[in-house]
């Protein structure tokens, strides 16, 4: 009942020339949207031109971040309302890199979730888990609290527009090993149980929850076979169009 969702996260990679070449190469080769949904989260600079190039295809362009105000004296920030006007329908919020490098707190992430929803954009809320928390033995509490705070004030009517991603930072980036399929599923299950506490079992059962952290062609099939993993958020392996296409084909 939950359609698979494959999201590439380009982070701060590629130039506009490379971005256009990549998108032109893959956009006509994707499976239909009723089988698998495909998104690329790209730097703000590329949004407008990639949205225009992908209109009418099964490749949706998403933003990697937005601010929690619609407008104002916020140098360098991106308005969710301006994103919506460009035709952007999804935005990643609370990525572990934003939390760690740009000091985004759970409260700020929550404000962004509300601003995005208000602007008509669907948030992809990332839930982090650090190795320190694992070692200290409070990872469950840590994951649960990010869901509770990140979604504070989000109504049951808004919930279907939210996607979550379990993204342990100990598994993200070069030199890291992915979570095992059962560890990844456990994280996604924990998020779903927290949603069930907040919104009830049947609402929670309809929300898509992704896993992210060193996903590649080899580990993808086992991850997608898990009961609570509805798709993946892919960093490095999404940078190569041929590899990304192959990964989308696995999810079909
Ligand atoms: C990410 O940054 O969301 C991510 C999952 O990165 P990677 O796949 O490179 O670990």
Q: Does residue 173 have a known ligand-binding role?
A: yes
Q: Does residue 142 have a known ligand-binding role?
A: no
Which residue's alpha carbon is at the smallest distance from atom 6 of ligand 1? 235
Interface confidence: ipTM more than 0.90: yes
Split at pLDDT 50, 70, 90, the class of 249 is: very high
Within 8 A by CB and 6+ apart from 51, the residues are 61, 86, 87, 88
Contact 59, 85 (CB under 8 A): no
Split at pLDDT 50, 70, 90, the class of 175 is: confident
Amino acid 58: pLDDT: 96
Contact 96, 169 (CB under 8 A): yes
User: Given the CA of residue 95, which atom of ligand 1 is nearest to it?
Assistant: 3
Contact 91, 113 (CB under 8 A): no
Q: Which helix (H) or strand (E) holds 99?
A: helix 96-101
Helix axes 106-119, 139-150, angle to 10 degrees: 40
pTM: 0.96
Helix, strand, coil abundance in the chain, percent, nearest 5 = 45, 15, 35
């Amino acid at each position: 009942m939950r359609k698979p969702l494959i999201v590439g996260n380009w982070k701060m990679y590629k130039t506009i020339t490379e971005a256009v070449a990549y998108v032109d190469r893959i956009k006509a080769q994707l499976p239909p949207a009723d089988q698998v949904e495909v998104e690329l989260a790209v730097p703000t600079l590329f949004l407008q031109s990639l949205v225009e190039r992908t209109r009418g295809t099964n490749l949706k362009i998403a933003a990697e971040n937005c601010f929690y105000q619609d407008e104002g004296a916020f140098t360098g920030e991106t308005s969710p309302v301006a994103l919506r006007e460009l035709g952007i329908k999804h935005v990643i919020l609370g990525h572990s890199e934003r939390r760690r490098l740009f000091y985004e707190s759970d409260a700020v992430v929550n404000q962004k979730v509300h601003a995005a929803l208000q602007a008509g954009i669907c948030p992809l809320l990332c839930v982090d888990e650090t190795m320190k928390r694992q070692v200290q033995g409070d990872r469950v509490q840590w994951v649960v609290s990010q869901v509770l705070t990140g979604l504070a004030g989000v109504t049951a009517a808004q919930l279907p527009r939210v996607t979550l991603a379990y993204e342990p930072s100990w598994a993200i980036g070069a030199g890291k090993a992915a979570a095992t399929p059962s560890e990844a599923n456990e994280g996604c299950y924990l998020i779903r149980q927290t949603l069930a506490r907040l919104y009830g079992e049947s609402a929670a059962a309809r929300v898509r929850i992704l896993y992210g952290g060193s996903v590649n062609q080899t580990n993808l099939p086992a991850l997608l076979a898990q009961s609570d993993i509805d798709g993946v958020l892919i960093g490095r392996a999404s940078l190569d169009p041929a590899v990304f296409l192959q990964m989308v084909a696995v999810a079909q």
